[in-house]
Amino acid sequence: MKKFLLWTVRITGGLIVLLIGSVVLLQYRTYDAPFPDIHASADSVIIARGKYLVTGPAHCADCHASPDQASLLALGKPVSLNGGKEFKGDIGTLRAPNITSDRETGVGNLSDGQIARALRYGVDHKGKALFPLMPFQNLSDGDLQAIISYLRTMEPVRHEVKPKSLNALGYVVNAFFIKPVGPTGLPPGTVIADSSVTYGAYLAKNVANCVGCHTDRDLKTGAFTSEPFSGGFHMQSPLDPAYECVTPNLTPDGPTGRMTNWTETQFIQRFGMGKSITHSEMPWGPFKNMNESDLKALYRFLHTLKPVTHETGPSLVRKQ
């Protein structure tokens, strides 16, 4: 019996050491993802498109603006993308980097291809997998070029942002679950920006990331756990960790869909009103900059979704 227990302890100890060693080694794993053939342009039309995307539907500033610019951001005003916003969760704290053109603390030393690879394939300039927080894998070549072109015109701001701080669970998740997320197919070369359902789908899935927040998901791995756009995702309040906002069901389900009976005009007007729940993480500031055509496209697409009965309850709840 003593020998059995001794061998059990040895085997268990060996497995624990092996697991810890694997977790440590896998923190240094790199991936060989392609560099998209995307290059910044000096064309004013392309830069203007990039500015609209960055400050509007793609809401880059909502993550990459420093916290001290929150009041300007809420109004939809121009802000620096100097980074520093923190995302705290079960795995630790993630921090949005400085993406201004500063050569020491921003992306000034990165090539266009490196930035494009990070956005499309989720692989950073060191070859490591990024946590899947950005929805731009299927962005068109033209829009990817426009965003990079605009970033190159932004004033460089020196702002050193601390790297992510993972806890023990975070290191395990990073080792075994975080892998590059690439496009689901061949991204389009260009898209036609109009008020059509097709363009609305492109915005909702690939630019504004409506599907990313309005679909329930596992916060540890990022995996979706419910029907797309049916809501129920609990997002910790940026103001008080004791509260969570619950995203509503956007499908046109009669009993449970939040916007089932909204008119197109009401939908457009809502985006001009800004934040109504102070705890909300929805980027209402940047979304105030969206033009009417884009909002019509979004509305029309959302009303083509399959109705999903999913009662998400109150929009603001106290954590259990």
For the stretch 241-262, pLDDT in tens is 889 999 999 999 999 999 999 9
Length of the chain: 320
Where are the alpha helices (H) located in 27-69, listed in sequence order?
Answer: 44-55, 61-64
Burial track 133-155 (b if 16+ CB lie within 10 A, e otherwise): ebbbbbbbbbbbbbbbbbbbebe
pTM flag (> 0.85): yes
CA dist., res. 198 & res. 301, Å (int)? 7
Q: Hey, is 4 helix, strand or coil? A: helix
pLDDT tens by residue, 198-237: 999 999 999 999 999 999 987 666 678 889 999 999 988 8
pLDDT for the residue 90? 84
Q: Span 153-168, mean pLDDT?
A: 95
Q: Which of 76, 75, 93 is nearest to 84 (CA)?
A: 93
Q: Span 184-188, mean pLDDT?
A: 94
CA dist., res. 272 & res. 107, Å (int)? 32
